[in-house]
Amino acid sequence: GQNIDQPTEMTATEGAIVQINCTYQTSGFNGLFWYQQHAGEAPTFLSYNVLDGLEEKGRFSSFLSRSKGYSYLLLKELQMKDSASYLCAVLDSNYQLIWGAGTKLIIKP
Amino acid sequence: GAVVSQHPSWVICKSGTSVKIECRSLDFQATTMFWYRQFPKQSLMLMATSNEGSKATYEQGVEKDKFLINHASLTLSTLTVTSAHPEDSSFYICSAPSGLAGYNEQFFGPGTRLTVL
């Protein structure tokens, strides 16, 4: 079966750095997405990785290793507004998005 | 980026009534749209794939006769929850892929919160 694992919840301090991991086992791979979702709102796009390596976009970076079925989202200089759920999703061979359960990130002052 | 709208944003209805939710792609054409349901503190669950001009494809366990999907144009898909019951109360979200070559980002609507009394 298809499976995506990410931690349920993480806590970090304002101004610090946090890494949210995602491992996946899917039928085929056409890219991995990270989305941010604030409570009661729809997800918003953060990043897309289809090749191995690190993609940097401002305070957020996303890494992918296809051979290991592994990705992480790195958030730097954390701000209180970064408190949200972070969803990892993989596009499988049928171009269907397979979603992880999300990681709730709590930022403390 | 591409914009997807949903209407209504929230709705409260009595048990047994039907509710229609609209999903529109505002600045691009979407031959495919996806409908998701999200219960509190849970991840998105794909309900069905809506295809313009043809029947929707439903995920296992989703009743097609209860959740009617119509994708009549390249910019509009509707989800009708028929004979709604309290257990149908949830956050319903639609999305549409941008379709840009080599990049399959999905753009999400703002969601519709349905409460069935």
Query: Which pLDDT does position B104 carry in this prediction?
Result: 61
Could you say which of A42, A91, A100 has the minimum Cβ distance to residue B43? Answer: A100
Q: Which of B21, B47, B104 would you mutate first to test chain A, the one with the most A CBs within 10 A?
A: B104
Q: Across residues A3-7, what is the average pLDDT? A: 94
Residues of chain A with Cβ-Cβ distance to B108 below 8 Å are 42-44
pLDDT greater at residue B72 or residue B10 = B10
Task: Calculate the CA dihedral of residues A72, B106, B46, B65 and round it to 10 degrees.
Answer: 180
Mean pLDDT of chain A: 93
What CA–CA distance (Å, rounded) separates A32 from A50? 6
Query: Which pLDDT does position A1 carry in this prediction?
Result: 74
Q: Across residues B103-113, what is the average pLDDT? A: 82
Query: Which pLDDT does position B116 carry in this prediction?
Result: 96
Query: Which pLDDT does position B102 carry in this prediction?
Result: 44
Collapsing DSSP to helix, strand or coil, A82 comes out as helix
Name the residue of chain B whose CA is nearest to A9's CA: B41
Residues B46-68: pLDDT tens digits?
999 998 888 899 999 999 999 99
Residues A8-53: pLDDT tens digits?
999 999 999 999 999 999 989 989 999 999 988 888 889 989 999 9
Name the residue of chain A whose CA is nearest to B90's CA: A40
CB–CB contact B43 A30 (8 Å): no
**Percent of chain A predicted with pLDDT > 90:** 77
Residues B2-52: pLDDT tens digits?
789 999 999 999 999 999 999 999 988 888 899 999 988 788 889 999 988
pLDDT greater at residue B105 or residue A38 = A38
Residue with tokens 């209860």: B66
Q: Is the dihedral of CA B95, B77, B66, B63 positive or negative?
A: negative
